[in-house]
């Protein structure tokens, strides 16, 4: 068994990691840490009678003594402080924050000064299946954001056929859990219920993450317009992409060929639904062409494929296991 830990366990992604790890045949929870001490079933009452475990205040040396792998479910800036020390002590890290997803210039534009140039240089962006081979040999994986995951998986198969000068327009909609567990005026029930709104249009920090990795994949500059929306759902994410094509294509054939060996990417023949993927590791994708334009539609669970189950899939690869080991398959809805 591989001993693993989660630092920042008290949030939504921390809870999802626990749920997944409890069903994993090769990983054993051996360290949990949050901002205060307590019992894990006091933080999450649904774990009462399921997991009897003490939550510590994060201590890097204790984590390194107890774990071969640590998941960091922490806010940006805070995560890099722990990652650098854990790596020095020989612990592998999957970071669910933004701290290692971008180059230094773009990170500091969108977040804060970066404190770990050394590890930023060799962090692997854990978008699966695109970077699978790199993840296998990684000591530090930067788990992608939920919006970039849904967007990049939709767009990447079509990069050879998209007019990169005009680029892509991405209309994305997320459930409220994407805002995290800490309450705010915009995520309050009264604000969200029976409401729908765009936020940070065109300047959202995930725009640069999407653009940077699209350009890395296609080795060209690409205009990227990204507009996120908050919808009154607990979980789930729907992305709609619009682009101009540079040649005639059969989009479903391209998707089927590109993802032909991917168990958790399903190619749909009609627009996708959040309910079909909520509670699972699946990404559903649909695409259709009209004239010289393409519409691409994808759906994921923002807390799983967009965070915790993708993190676990990365960890599986880092330790030589089947990538899809212990991945959730059944939607929470009929």
Measured distance CA(109)–CA(5) in Å, rounded: 31
Task: Show the tokens assigned to 7.
Answer: 């630092």
Q: Over 88-150, what HEC string results? A: HCCCEEEECCCCCCCCHHHHHHHCCCCCCHHHHCCCEECCCCCCHHHHHCCCEEECCCHHHHH
Query: Pick the catalytic residue: 146, 218, 283, 334?
Result: 146
Q: How many CA atoms lie within 13 A of 65 on its CB side?
A: 5
Task: Show the tokens assigned to 91.
Answer: 């612990």
On whether the CB atoms of residues 313 and 166 are closer than 8 A, the answer is no
Q: Which of 263, 226, 239 is nearest to 128 (CA)?
A: 263
Measured distance CA(293)–CA(149) in Å, rounded: 22
Would residue 146 show up in a list of annotated catalytic residues for this protein? yes
Q: Which residues are catalytic?
A: 146
């Amino acid at each position: 068994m591989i001993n693993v830990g989660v630092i920042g366990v008290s949030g939504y992604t921390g809870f999802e990691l626990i749920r997944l790890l409890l069903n994993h045949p090769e990983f054993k929870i051996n360290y949990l840490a949050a901002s205060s001490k307590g019992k894990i079933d006091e933080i999450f009452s649904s774990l009462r009678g399921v997991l009897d475990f003490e939550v510590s205040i994060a201590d890097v040396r204790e984590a390194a003594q107890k774990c071969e792998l640590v998941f960091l479910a922490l806010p940006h800036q805070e995560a890099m402080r722990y990652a650098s020390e854990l790596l020095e002590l020989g612990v592998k890290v999957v970071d669910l924050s933004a701290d290692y997803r971008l180059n230094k210039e773009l990170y500091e534009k969108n977040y804060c000064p970066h404190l770990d140039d050394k590890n930023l240089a060799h962090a692997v962006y854990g978008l699966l299946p695109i970077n699978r081979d790199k993840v296998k040999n990684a000591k530090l994986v930067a788990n992608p954001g939920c919006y970039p995951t849904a967007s990049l998986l939709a767009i990447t198969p079509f990069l050879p056929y998209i007019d990169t000068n005009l680029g892509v327009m991405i209309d994305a909609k997320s459930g409220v859990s994407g805002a995290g567990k800490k309450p705010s005026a915009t995520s309050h029930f009264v604000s969200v219920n029976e409401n729908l709104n765009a936020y940070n249009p065109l300047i959202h920090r995930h725009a640069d993450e999407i653009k940077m990795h699209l350009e890395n994949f296609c080795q060209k500059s690409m205009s990227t317009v990204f507009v996120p929306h908050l919808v009154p759902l607990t979980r789930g994410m729907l992305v709609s992409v619009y682009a101009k094509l540079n040649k005639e294509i059969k989009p479903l054939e391209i998707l089927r060929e590109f993802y032909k060996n991917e168990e958790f990417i399903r190619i749909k023949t009609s627009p996708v639904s959040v309910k079909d993927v909520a509670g699972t590791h699946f990404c559903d994708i649909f695409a259709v062409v009209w004239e010289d334009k393409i519409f691409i539609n994808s759906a994921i669970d923002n807390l799983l494929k967009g965070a915790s189950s993708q993190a676990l899939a990365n960890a599986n690869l880092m330790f030589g296991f089947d990538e899809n080991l212990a991945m959730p398959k059944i939607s929470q809805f009929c």
